[in-house]
Homo-oligomer: A and B are copies of this chain.
Amino acid sequence: MKKLNTSPLSGTQELLPWAQTLFDKYRETIAAAYAAHGFQHIDTPAIDRTEILLAKAGGETEKQIYRVYKTSKKAADSEQALRFDQTVSLARYTVEHENDLAFPFRVYQIGRSYRGERAQKGRFREFYQCDVDVIGRNRLAVAYDAEVIATLYDALRSIKGLPEFRIRISNRKILTGLLQELNLDDLSAEIFAIVDHAEKVPREQTVAALQGLGLGSENVVKITAFTEIRGGRHEVMTKLHSFKLENATFRTGVTELNEVLELLEAQLPAENFIADMLIVRGLDYYTGTVFETFCLEYPGLGSICSGGRYENLAGHYTDWILPGVGGSIGLTRLFSVLTEAGLISSDATAPIDIALIPLDKTVRGRTFLLAKQLRAEGKTVDVVLSDKKLWDKMAHAAKVAKYACVLGPDEIIRGSAQLKDLKTGELSELKFG
């Protein structure tokens, strides 16, 4: 009988071994894709100074932040908290170690962050994110925006079983310039928020929201028409040029978007990315390129990989200008939504390779030597050491391994034993030196 509630805290992810094996594989292949693109790994603390974490935060983030204090101290003294994302850690790290880093600094982080979210499906209080960023000093070529997207593409592609996906790309300067041209700068934040939300509500609601800001119908038509522009590079460039705007911000945005798309054409299959003016990202943190990624047949999963360009990473910590571009795969959330959608199932069991069963105590030493030999060949091997009946040991082997092999004195003398495939029952010969 249980004496305490042993379920994991709500909002945390805890996996059975077979699922953990799959999760680890995702994590490893993502890391390998980042590393293959020349990104370097850093592993920053999840606990940090409250003043660092709150320098930029505010509103919702501040309310959700987890503060940390010792039982022996008063909570009010708490100057430590758990980070709510890894970007704050990256900003602090880059400023702190600036003299030891080579810029542009290609960096990735795969770690946990914490948010006091209200408990609900798909919302996590403790979660892994796989971030990839390039940080420049003073300036950073726009080509790196494409490099980050190409890297994330390779990372997503490496995830076995992930449904087909498409990266939707835009540049915030384009809508910013358009709004300047329409003399709607003042309403910029509100309009960005409405566009960001547009896909989740019926079209009329978006129109009504824009009208609600006091926009004339001509402007409403222009903005909604703008947000409906999507497609390949040539198609989208033609449509954007047809606006015939002289506005410098607009034109810079269009030029940057064109370069990013052109660089991606050289690297990604055409069906995996698209220019899409509906993508603006809610955060005003982003200042240029922005992107989100959706699974074509599972739009309900939401964006599985997003990011963009920011003009200054660490303005709250330093006077240096550190422009950057980054993106992130929300691994805990991704794994959870794929499970929900039935795309990960327990059929994906990941047992170890071989269970070796010594028949009695006299042959254990020889069994260890065989285990060593098999491990040197890259196999995972469980030597079943329990002092139960052979029947029980076989039953255990069937639960944990793909193959089982019983070793007794005869097998040792013969120098070979029968290897049993625990799924098919097939027998084969295992020789040992």
Chain A residues engaging chain B, CB cutoff 8 angstroms: 1-9, 12-17, 20-21, 23-24, 35-38, 40-49, 51-52, 55, 62-73, 75-76, 78, 80, 82, 92-93, 95-97, 100-104, 106-107, 112, 114, 116, 125-126, 136, 140-141, 143-144, 147, 150, 154, 263, 265-267, 316-319, 352, 355, 364-366, 368-369, 372, 375, 379-383, 385-387, 396, 399-401
5 nearest A-B residue pairs (beta carbon): A38-B382, A75-B75, A266-B365, A12-B45, A143-B385
Q: A17-B107, A69-B69 are in contact. List 8 more A-B contacts (CB 8 A).
A: A2-B319, A37-B375, A38-B355, A46-B46, A66-B68, A75-B75, A150-B368, A266-B365
In whole angstroms, what is the CA distance A12 to B375 when docked?
A: 35
Residues of chain B within 8 A (CB-CB) of A107 are 17
- Which of B45, B64, B114, B141 lies in contact with A9, CB distance below 8 A? B45
Q: Is A44's CB under 8 angstroms from B266's CB?
A: no
User: Which residue of B has the minimal Cβ distance to A96?
Assistant: B6
- 30 sample A-B contacts, Cβ–Cβ < 8 Å, listed by A number: A1-B318, A2-B95, A3-B318, A3-B319, A4-B49, A5-B51, A6-B92, A6-B93, A8-B45, A9-B49, A14-B44, A14-B93, A16-B100, A20-B43, A36-B379, A38-B381, A38-B382, A38-B383, A46-B112, A62-B71, A66-B69, A69-B75, A75-B75, A104-B385, A104-B386, A106-B400, A141-B387, A147-B383, A154-B375, A267-B372
Residues of chain B within 8 A (CB-CB) of A93 are 6, 14
